[in-house]
Chain A
């Protein structure tokens, strides 16, 4: 015993397939056609369905061992079609060989191997003194593979929404599909692949266009499928239909002397709604053109899926292009007339809203905002508007947004949300801001105010333009900062992929606006807003600030907070006042993500943010840029090395800054240290070594230079000042022993290293720099 018994434990030897080397010859492959016909598939789901069909088909074929080449997948509202050309007619025969025990191995080993493989001894093959189990697996007919795969694909299909239907739905586990499935064509090399699912049996018949064709169409195979459907008024290739919609709409506009406003989303949607698309141009009453063009476009697009047109001067024309699904007997005259009537009804609604809304000044609309909840813990939209107005006004009056009139900033902020309660925005929420701008201009408010109301949501997406008009900048910043501070205050900051209040987008918006050159210390804005949130919550909770004072003992007579008495109501407030650091860290994160694309190192952003007092993003980035340039130089690399060495020593020695700092008076050739935290002793004097003295001299020179440069925001100069420390620090480490036996020397040298570290920290926290 004890000899090796390979193969019986079943751990080491898995079957090794040997693929028989048949050469594919004509006649061993065939083309496969699959059509899944159903009631109308939502247009928006068709692209996903095509991808899913291809993916599922490939997965099934791969699992079965059928090699799949290029696939063609088409969709119409009523069918999903897949064509696989050159599909092998059978999976390849496979010979699976499992290595067993040596023929010389004990009987138990062989028995175990036979049990495992399920074979008898005479079925084994012997080679070189070893038993092998060889199992020949014949190829499976592709027809059989497909007959199993098709129902599996249908069952596994990941529709965004699916339903049950018909008599079979008496059972809860009945088949689900996006809408009732009505037929399956499955033809391999022209032969039906027989399968059944949900009471539907595969075959070779399909249906043509709903209205242009009646009766079944019999399909021979891949080659006549699309052509026979075309004869039955179905263009099965969605790309071809998209082309017809795109070009047809353009031509319809051009024929009328107009230019189509191209819209690829509408092209795809209309192609997904039709099997035989026919773009038709219609006109609407010119009187509707008094309604803002964005409203007309949205009405036409969203509600009716129409294209709109411009005249040669680029102005919106009184024309639309709809896409019919039939080649109408009358050339489409009645269809156009019907669509015109529907659009007219929609536009008269829009015009009614436009007229109705303008009868009331925005300031009166704004009063209704007190009835709309912003967030249950953060008060109403009217509360938000008041905070935004305060901050916008402050940004203007502090000169943070240069050239901004504080009064205009306040008015614009007070009115910026008023359009939310107008009829038009109620109907078309995507017109928020835009309508407010129109209404503001219509009632004669200054352009700067109207523009600010219109654009204060900007920038919305990455490609969206960043506002530059001063009043707009003030309101746009205030609105976004208010949202961020509010939700952080109630602990609703984004986590992972969850960002329900779009705070990341708001932060990026703030960052992009600031990058246009607005010098704002974020922490000041955070504090101001947090104070407003808190006061508003006091008003809501206690009715008034006076009532709050009366009920709490944490304030003295004059109303000043008494730090000795904790606020007994602190728990009662949903909005917490201590989120400032988290907010700043959140901005740092957003900035890192944003700057990554520009090639700015995230650790350098950290190194500057870690200073704790840098919350002006413009200055911060200037620092980071200078730092990035510096750390790429030889001086930079060596200074970092020196810094890290100094920091390590300080850490290792448990160095803490003395209670009384050593900066008081520094005698010419000595150092006086008072009693320090490490208990290293009282004042001592010793004579510095030359390298030590050189470092002191270098610091004496560099510190004021760096400080002045930072103050002047000349960060390149600050880096240059630091660079002068590189040689002295290297020399210091070269020749000076920090851990001297003399405690005075040791203390003095540690103090010097700490001073060096502090000098570097004036520019950035080098400990955050990686590498």
Chain B
């Protein structure tokens, strides 16, 4: 019981958990990046994952990505669901042979003892039709709770991953709730000086839920979607695929907002998703196209 007491006595705050993960992955050779400055649904959309998982060059990075899922908003009234939350994302290309061990090391670094907690790798394959991407892997369970998505990317943007990247996506709030033994996300200790997650984000959740569901001007959103789509195509023509990809991210988020506003019918939904997918895939293709000669020169025998 001594172990329980110590673990319970000094669990990491949200920010200390992030700092511990940064320190850990930084020491393992990952670049510690900052969040991408755009609204997106998941850490995978960050160009540091999507675009950098393309091509043969090694790439190791870790970062926090604020993730926005407008339809998950609950006006701050649900203890588990948020329209804005944090994902901790690690991408390592090629996937190192000891990626599982590295991952388990990171859990130990934030205070999870694998002889007190039941850590399991449970089959869960990942697919993002929007990104033309899929991979095999697991959801990692800690005492029955999914705390991380662990994926070996096999395809991105419709291209085979050569080489394969390993991707880890931690749900930070979930993990923090677990570590801190808290049932309501807003009760999380954000730091060790009396500031809670609710102090930081509760009002944000209320206002943003209201805006997402009730206020956002749908005509502006539709117009924004069309503009992002047009801008993406323009950027692709101009051979600036990174800029094109930003517009794909923008279109994807505007689509999510339109969904939250309930103005996209079931039939239209598939068509909008197809349009976003075309933008994202087009950007990946543009990116591959641009760097292909350089990569082929650097990695003899490599082909897209």
Cα of A339 to Cα of B146 in the assembled complex, Å: 11
Out of A42, A324, A342, which one reaches B145, CB within 8 Å?
A342
Of B9-17, B40-48, B161-169, B247-255, the stretch lying at the interface with chain A is B161-169
CB <8 Å contact, B161 and A42: no
The residue from B137, B154, B163, B301 contacting A167, defined by CB atoms under 8 A apart? B163
* A273 nearest CB neighbor, chain B only: B120
Evaluate contact between A329 and B115: CB separation under 8 angstroms: yes
Asked if A654 lies at the interface with its beta carbon under 8 angstroms from chain B, I say: no
CB distance from B208 to the nearest CB of A (A): 22
Contact of B3 among A274, A329, A339 (CB under 8 A): A329
Is B100 interfacial (CB 8 A cutoff)? Answer: yes
Residues of B within 8 A of A167 (CB): 94, 163
Contact A166/B145 with A40-B121, A40-B138, A211-B115 known, Cβ cut-off 8 Å: no
| Bound-complex Cα distance A142 to B4 (A) | 54
- A171 and B97: CB pair below 8 A? no
Is A736 close to B, CB under 8 A?
Answer: no
A216 to chain B, nearest CB (A): 13
Residues of chain B lying within 8 A (CB to CB) of residue A43: 123
Q: Mark A572-596, 1 if CB is under 8 A from B, else 0.
A: 0000000000000000000000000
Q: Decide yes or no whether A473 CB sits under 8 A from chain B.
A: no
CB interface residues, A 162-197, toward B, < 8 Å: 162-172, 178-180, 182
Answer yes or no: A449 CB below 8 A from chain B CBs.
Answer: no
Residue in contact with B143 in the complex, picked from A178, A212, A338, CB distance below 8 Å = A338
Question: Nearest-CB distance from B146 to chain A (Å)?
Answer: 9
Contacts A39-B100, A212-B115 hold; do A338 and B145 have CB atoms under 8 A apart?
yes
Which residues from B are CB-within-8-Å of A371?
265-266
Q: Is B80 an interface residue (CB 8 A)?
A: yes
Given contacts A40-B138, A164-B164, contact A170 B116 (CB under 8 A): no
B183 partner, pick from A168, A334, A341, beta carbons under 8 A: A341
Q: Which residues of A contact B113 (CB under 8 A)?
A: 329
Instruction: Known contacts A161-B125, A166-B97, A169-B164; decide if A328 and B135 are in contact (CB<8 Å).
Output: no
Q: Which of B117-139 contact A (CB under 8 A)?
A: 117-123, 125, 135-138
Residue interface mask B104-121, A partner, CB < 8 A = 1 = 100000000111111111
Instruction: With both chains docked as a complex, state the minimum distance between the C-beta of A298 and any C-beta of chain B, in angstroms.
Output: 16
B164 in contact with A166 (CB, 8 Å): yes
In the complex, which residues 288-306 of chain A have their Cβ closer than 8 Å to any Cβ of chain B? 304, 306
Collect the chain B residues with CB atoms within 8 Å of residue A212's CB.
Answer: 115
- Tell me, rounded to whole Å, the shortest Cβ–Cβ distance linking B271 to chain A: 14
User: Chain A residues with Cβ under 8 A from B154's Cβ?
Assistant: 163-164
For the complex, give the distance between the alpha carbons of A743 and B117 in Å: 101
B182 to chain A, nearest CB (A): 10
Q: How distant is the Cα of A180 from the Cα of B4 in the complex, in angstroms?
A: 35
Q: Which residues of B contact A178 (CB under 8 A)?
A: 136
Within 8 Å of chain A (Cβ to Cβ): is B96? yes
Q: Which residues of A contact B163 (CB under 8 A)?
A: 164, 166-170
Q: Provide the bound-state CA to CA distance between A328 and B120, in Å.
A: 14
Q: Is B160 an interface residue (CB 8 A)?
A: yes
Which A residues from 133 to 172 make CB contacts under 8 A with B? 161-172
Q: What are the residues of chain A within 8 A of B56 when measuring CB–CB?
A: 170
Docked complex Cα distance between A511 and B145 (Å)? 46
* A335 at the binding interface (Cβ < 8 Å): yes
Chain B residues closer than 8 Å to A378, beta-carbon distance? none
Query: Per a CB cutoff under 8 Å, which of A166, A172, A179 touches B160?
Result: A172
A339 to chain B minimum Cβ distance, whole angstroms, is 4
With an 8 A cutoff between CB atoms, is A325 at the interface?
yes
Residues of chain B contacted by A172 (CB below 8 angstroms)? 160, 162, 303
Asked whether A744 is an interface residue with its Cβ less than 8 Å from the other chain, the reply is no
Does B27 make an interface contact (CB < 8 A)? Answer: no
Q: In the complex, A166 Cα to B94 Cα: how many Å?
A: 5
| Residues on A with beta carbons closer than 8 Å to the beta carbon of B122 | 40, 273
When chains A and B are docked, how far (Å) is the Cα of A322 from the Cα of B299? 49
User: Is residue A665 within 8 Å, beta carbon to beta carbon, of the partner chain?
Assistant: no
Least CB separation from A322: chain B residue:
B144
Q: How far is the CA of A588 from the CA of B301 in the complex (A)?
A: 61
Q: Are A326 and B95 in contact (CB under 8 A)?
A: no
Which B-chain residue is minimally distant from A282 (CB atoms)?
B144
User: Contact between A169 and B116 (Cβ–Cβ < 8 Å)?
Assistant: no
Inter-chain contact B162/A170, CB cutoff 8 Å:
yes
CB <8 Å contact, A330 and B117: no
Contacts of B136 in A (CB 8 A): 161-163, 178-179
A44 within 8 A of B: yes
A382 at the interface (CB under 8 A from B): no
In the bound complex, what is the Cα–Cα distance between A324 and B120 (angstroms)?
9
Nearest CB in chain B: distance from A590 CB, A: 34
**B3:A330 contact, CB within 8 angstroms:** yes
A26-56 contacts to B, CB under 8 A, are 39-40, 42-44
Question: Quick check: B144 and A304 within 8 Å, CB to CB?
Answer: yes
Contacts of A338 in B (CB 8 A): 117-118, 142-145, 178
A345 at the interface (CB under 8 A from B): yes
Q: Please determine whether A335 and B123 come into contact, CB atoms closer than 8 angstroms.
A: no
Assess whether B291 is interfacial by the CB under 8 Å rule.
Answer: no
A339/B162 contact (C-beta < 8 A), A40-B121, A273-B122, A324-B118 known? no
Residues in B whose Cβ lies below 8 Å from that of A210: 104, 114, 119
**A221 interfacial contact with B, CB 8 Å:** no
- Using A163-B154, A371-B266 as known contacts, say yes or no to A44 and B1 having CB atoms under 8 A apart: no
Q: How far is the CA of A322 from the CA of B144 in the complex (A)?
A: 8
Contact partner, A163, options B116, B135, B162, B303, Cβ 8 Å = B135
A77 interfacial by beta-carbon distance below 8 Å: yes
Q: Mark B1-32, 1 if CB is under 8 A from A, else 0.
A: 10110000000000000000000000000000
Are A335 and B152 interface neighbours, CB within 8 A? no
Which A residue's beta carbon lies closest to that of B123? Answer: A42
In the complex, what's the smallest C-beta–C-beta distance from A323 to chain B, in angstroms?
9
Q: Does A343 contact B (CB under 8 A)?
A: yes
- Which residue of B96, B100, B114 is within 8 Å of A166 (Cβ)? B96
Tell whether A169 pairs with B94 under 8 Å between CB atoms, given A39-B100, A179-B136, A180-B152. Answer: yes
Assembly CA distance A513 to B145 (angstroms): 44
CB pair B164 A335 closer than 8 Å = no
User: Chain A: which residue is nearest B143 at the CB level?
Assistant: A338
Q: Are A345 and B144 in contact (CB under 8 A)?
A: no
1/0 per position for A393-430, CB-CB distance to B under 8 A? 00000000000000000000000000000000000000
Chain B minimum-CB-distance residue to A344: B183
A198 to B4, CA, bound (A): 43
Q: Does the CB pair B143–A334 fall under 8 Å?
A: yes
Cβ contacts under 8 Å, B4 to chain A = 330, 333-334
> Nearest Cβ in chain B — how far from A88, in angstroms?
36
* A339 near B143: Cβ-Cβ < 8 Å: yes
Best-surrounded residue of B143, B161, B166 (most CB of chain A within 10 A): B143
Cα A163 to Cα B126 in complex, Å, equals 12
**A320 nearest in chain B by CB position:** B144
- The answer on a CB contact under 8 Å between B144 and A339 is yes
Judge whether A77 and B115 touch: CB under 8 Å. Answer: no
| Chain B residue nearest in CB terms to A349 | B80
Q: What 0/1 pattern do residues 329 to 368 of A give for CB contact below 8 A with B?
A: 1100111011101110100000000000000000000000
Choose among B95, B116, B125, B138 the residue that contacts A334 (Cβ–Cβ < 8 A): B116
Across-interface contacts of B135 in A (CB, < 8 A): 163
Q: In the complex the two chains form, what is the Cα distance from A169 to B114 in whole Å?
A: 31
A43 to B178, CA, bound (A): 26
Residue of A nearest to B265 (CB): A371
CA distance A39 to B136 in the complex (A): 11
CA A161 – CA B152 in complex, angstroms? 13
Chain A residues, CB < 8 A from B266: 371-373
Determine the distance from Cα of A304 to Cα of B122 in the docked complex, in whole angstroms: 11
**Other CB < 8 Å A-B pairs besides A42-B123, A211-B115, 6 of them?**
A161-B125, A165-B164, A170-B302, A211-B119, A334-B116, A371-B265
Q: Which 3 A-B pairs have the closest CB atoms?
A: A338-B143, A42-B123, A40-B121
List 16 interface pairs A-B (beta carbons < 8 Å), by A numbering.
A42-B123, A163-B136, A165-B95, A167-B94, A169-B164, A170-B162, A180-B97, A210-B114, A211-B115, A304-B144, A329-B115, A330-B4, A330-B116, A338-B117, A339-B144, A342-B145
